[in-house]
Structures are given as structure tokens and as C-alpha cells.
Amino acid sequence: MIVRKATPADAPALVEAFFAMMEEAGFGPPVQGSGPARLLASITAGTGDGSQGWFVCEDGGQIVATAGAILQLTPLDDVLVGKRAIIVGVYTRPDYRKRGAARMVVAAAVEWCRGAGVALVRLQTTQAGRPLYESLGFTVGDIMTLRL
């Protein structure tokens, strides 16, 4: 297995993995309408202009795991903690789980964030993902959320 940085050409595979993750993780409402097309446009643009850093783990030329980092820039971030980013789309094909694939792509996304000058990385986890993130240094802090 090898990890490489995704390019805009990988965007369709990243969207597919993203929605597989959403379904399995039970995040958010069901996908409807133009969601996939808009995500495809966003990832294509973001991997091209450097505002998103996506990584894929490949085996024999097939993508088996994905993770992406998205820079989140607001004026407040400059005042408080510098740049922020979220990690999204962490997904490993079921037949490749428990081999360290997610760890490699998430670690690569975190390093990409570090290189981009990010000071705080956030993500939403599942039970399955939590030990992995904790082992990479993520902690549960005092960020609260309200679903509307």
C-alpha cells in the first residue's frame, strides 16, 4: 500500500468514498439533489488551488482509503489560533480495514495541515474512528456543537 496526495483527477473517487463514509458513519441527513456534484466541484477546485489536501492509499493502483483536509479561513482565526482546518472523508474500503490505511492517510492530511501553517485541526468522529484519532494525538476538547 502506498499513500499519495490526491489530484483533481481523483475527485470522483474521493466523492464516492465520502458518501460511502457518510452512509456508514450515519453522519447528517441523506444525500439529495446536487450534493455529490457540488462536492465534486469543490474537491476538484480545492485540490487544484491548494485549499484542500486530500490523500489516498492505493494498493495495486486501486484507491482503498481516503482522507481530506480543508482549510477554513475566517478573520477570527488570525486573531485566535491561526489557521484552522477540518479533516473529512476518512474512509477505508471494508476489505482493507485494520491494516493501517486510515492511519496513513489521516497522518498525511495532518502533515499537510502542518505544512500549510494550520494551528488547529478539527474533525467529527465515529466510534470506529475514535481510537485512531486519539492515537494520532486528537483530544476531546471544549468545542460544542448545536444541530439546527
Ligand X SMILES: CC(C)(COP(=O)(O)OP(=O)(O)OC[C@H]1O[C@@H](n2cnc3c(N)ncnc32)[C@H](O)[C@@H]1OP(=O)(O)O)[C@@H](O)C(=O)NCCC(=O)NCCS
**CB closer to ligand X out of 78 and 111:** 111
Looking at the Cβ atoms of 80 and 122, the one nearer to ligand X is: 122
Least Å distance, CB 75 to ligand X, is 28
Residue 82 CB, shortest distance to ligand X, in Å, is: 23
How near is the Cβ of 136 to ligand X at its closest, in Å? 9
- Give ∠ CA 94-37-53 in degrees, rounded to 5: 65
Shortest distance, CB of residue 132 to ligand X, whole angstroms?
Answer: 5
Q: Which of 25, 35, 22, 89 is nearest to 57 (CA)?
A: 89
Comparing CB distances to ligand X, the nearer of 84 and 103 is: 103
Residue ranges in contact with ligand X by CB under 6 A: 21, 24-25, 65, 90-92, 97-103, 125-126, 128-129, 131-132, 135
Nearer to ligand X by C-beta: 91 or 112? 91
C-alpha span between 65 and 62 (Å, rounded): 9
To the nearest whole angstrom, how small is the minimum distance from the Cβ of residue 102 to ligand X? 3
- CA distances (Å), 112 to each of 36, 68, 74, 137, 147, in order? 25, 10, 19, 16, 29
**Identity of the residue, 40 or 57, whose beta carbon is nearer to ligand X in the bound complex:** 57
